[in-house]
Amino acid sequence: MACVFCAIVAGESEAALVAETESALAFLDSRPLFPGHALVVPRTHVPTLPELPAPLLAAVMGLAQQIAAVMPAALGAQGTFVAMNNVVSQSVPHLHVHVVPRTKGDGLRGFFWPRHPYASAEEMQGYAARLRAALP
């Protein structure tokens, strides 16, 4: 089975792009916890964090850090939740960092993640545009 995230990186599958660097790509999760939920992936196929080459760590986490920094102001959130699964609960076996906007009382408790899908592709693209515009 082909990797869905590798297809996005290669431009073979569509995604709502948030940011990109030479080594990493960020796009919106198609099944978000909340609107604006972004995923940051290395451009090369790496299944888990332990397998990520050290030189890519700064690139992937640096992009996640930039998105987490702008997300509250860009989306009207109070903070962010940043997480990564390795194998267990990793729905796509390609390393990805979740950067999720958070507000008090949003219903996210522990690791029970209720999904809140976008109403349309246009709404999804709008969230991606807001995050892109907020990045340096």
Q: Which of 37, 45, 94, 96 is catalytic?
A: 96
Contact 99, 32 (CB under 8 A): no
Rounded to 5 degrees, what are φ and ψ at 2?
A: -75, 150
**Token pair for residue 96?**
């990805």
Active site residue 96: yes
Sign of CA dihedral 12, 24, 87, 69: negative
Instruction: Give Dmax over CA atoms of the chain in angstroms.
Output: 39
- Contact partners, residue 93, CB within 8 Å, separation at least 6: 3, 47, 48, 87
Positions annotated as catalytic residues are: 96
